[in-house]
Structure 1
Amino acid sequence: MSYVGEELRSGDWETFAYILRFAAAVPHGQRLPLIRVVEMLKAMGRGTSTPDRKLLARQLQRLRNAELRVWTNDVAIVESWKALFPNEPLFKRGDIPGVRTSFKLLGDLVEAKTEKGNTVEFTTELSLYVRAFFGQSCRVGIRKACTSGSPATSQNVFFCFISRTMGASTSLLMSWSSTSAQARTASNSVVHLGKRTTN
């Protein structure tokens, strides 16, 4: 698996986790009901000042532009994929069937803004692929470590999600490292993901 898009911050994943939980009660194929920005910030334990609201708006845009590219021949996932998407042909590498797809983390954003351009509420949608791979359970963890031989601090951000939709409980681990300088200048990055399966 790989990630393509602007480098995501740890707060972006927290925002994504909130939207996943919010979407759990929404039927597949339907847009999410309007989400009020102030209520969302309070629910996540954040401030509600203008800078906080602008930060959330930037996070939503990064998530909107974030894309996951997936290729797997895991038998449990392939079988679940066939059951969920019976009309979609499987990708084959040689004689080995697998799942190959890509999707954005968030769908189109429809925002209501003040005269000053601050977002007060928004709605979005999650593709069926996001629902299939991410399910309804999400954990975010952060680990910081100093970069050897460098005064800069490297931050490793790990994003774990558990998908019960895809048959066996499957966890995917995303990690990347960036110095503060790289974080300021990065406009596009590719992040490789490792996969682990839990029983």
Structure 2
Amino acid sequence: MNIKVLLCLAILCFFVCSYAFAELPHTFQAGQTAKASDVNENFQYLQKTKYVLKSNGIIIGDVVSFSAHSANIINEKGFLVWVHVSGQAVESQSMLMYDGDNCTGQIYVSATLTDTVFVAQLSNGFKTYYTRKSLDAPAELKSYWNGLQCYPYGSSTHAVTKAYPNDFNVTGVRDSYPGSDGFDTPITMEER
């Protein structure tokens, strides 16, 4: 099967599952062929239905997708943040790449993770980072952290984006990991 078709189906399934309680114009069963016009109509419906996420009554972003316990939002500064009902940002990035040996130096992440605030579990605890939209020049990577330990990378060059330590003035997001402030609760969602 064509990779683009698989990607489209995966995205569709994500949105359909995320918005399961919404009254979509078309629903699909496993194994059923989805017509492009029906899929497009569902996407148009979802684009018209706008939800906002609130932290203690204050809007913190537009909801992109949600589940029973969390929501992906685009905040006022344009960053994608996954917010748990506990008030913590929960976008977890376990694959951190470094330009130095033994997981030292500049941290990089996949080039697909741009304008995102995420939490990484390091050997010394959790830390919040952010990425920017622009791709950085290919970096020569020497080591990587998989969420549990550091491994040598084998000195190869990849298209990546830099990860920066979180800065509230840049992202509008407080450090958000177990034991930190995160977002004020309650976390609520409502139609705009």
Which of the five TM-score ranges fits, normalised by the shorter chain?
under 0.3
Higher helix content, 1 or 2:
1
Q: Given the two structures, how large is their TM-score scaled by the length of structure 2?
A: 0.23
> Of the two structures, which has the highest relative contact order with CA contacts closer than 8 Å and spacing of 6 or more?
1
Q: Given the two structures, how large is their TM-score scaled by the length of structure 1?
A: 0.22
